[in-house]
């Protein structure tokens, strides 16, 4: 029996810092684990004001220093995403509230997850937006996303193994 792909969508406010970073990190983890044929990955923003833009240059710089390729183009969340993706993962409570409002039905709401739910170390209850901060904010976001993406991949792997 052929297993269907698991489709993941990462969401932040503008889709230029946190969600494209999560996308890049999980893509690398998936590639390193040889799971590219089993997992599809994308990212989007609650708002579309950065639509078509590449990730923030500061986020790109910090991510590339860690070996990540942040090359996705910003796009807004669409209603069709709730039907296309198996898991839609928001970065903070505001993202989660906005996603719940955008969800077309209760089945879609059930697909929503918060990124920090996949952290082993529960010191943070959200992934902070680094946009208006300095270098330490971008580094913190990458630290949190690296841990959460590994936790997410472990969760997906345990589900797939059953």
> Average model confidence (pLDDT) for the chain?
95
Over 70: is that where the pLDDT of 161 sits? no
Burial (0-12, 13-18, 19+ Cβ within 10 Å), 22: buried
The string of pLDDT tens digits covering residues 32-43 is 999 999 999 999
Give the count of beta carbons closer than 10 Å to the beta carbon of residue 1: 3
Q: How many CA atoms lie within 13 A of 20 on its CB side?
A: 30
Over 50: is that where the pLDDT of 1 sits? no
pLDDT of residue 121: 86
The string of pLDDT tens digits covering residues 53-85 is 999 999 999 999 999 999 999 999 999 999 999
Give the count of beta carbons closer than 10 Å to the beta carbon of residue 142: 23
Distance CA 77, CA 71 (A): 18
- Name the band, by pLDDT with cuts 50, 70 and 90, for residue 117: very high
Residue 73 known to be catalytic:
no
Residue 18 known to be catalytic:
yes
- Name the band, by pLDDT with cuts 50, 70 and 90, for residue 3: low
Instruction: Please provide the DSSP assignment of 82-98 as one string.
Output: HHH-SEEEESSHHHHHH
Residue 149 known to be catalytic:
no
Which among 42, 56, 98, 129 is annotated as catalytic? 129
Mean pLDDT, rounded, for 5-30: 98
Which among 12, 42, 56, 98 is annotated as catalytic? 12
pLDDT of residue 145: 98
Which among 17, 18, 56, 149 is annotated as catalytic? 18
- Please state, in angstroms and as integers, the Cα–Cα distance from residue 27 to each residue in 3, 10, 46, 67, 96, following that order: 19, 12, 21, 11, 22
């Amino acid at each position: 029996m052929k297993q269907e792909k698991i489709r993941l969508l990462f969401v932040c406010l503008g889709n230029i810092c946190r969600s494209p970073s999560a996308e890049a990190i999980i893509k690398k983890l998936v590639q390193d684990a040889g799971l590219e044929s089993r997992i599809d990955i994308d990212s989007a923003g609650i708002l579309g004001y950065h639509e078509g833009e590449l990730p923030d240059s500061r986020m790109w710089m910090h991510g590339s220093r860690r070996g990540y390729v942040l090359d996705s183009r910003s796009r807004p969340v669409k209603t069709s995403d709730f039907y296309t993706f198996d898991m839609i993962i928001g970065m903070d409570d505001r993202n989660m509230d906005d996603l719940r409002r955008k969800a077309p039905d209760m089945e879609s709401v059930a697909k929503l997850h918060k990124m920090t739910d996949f952290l082993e170390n529960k010191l943070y209850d959200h992934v902070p937006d680094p946009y208006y901060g300095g270098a330490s904010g971008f580094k913190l976001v990458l630290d949190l996303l690296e841990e959460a993406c590994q936790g997410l991949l472990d969760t997906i792997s345990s589900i797939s193994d059953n």
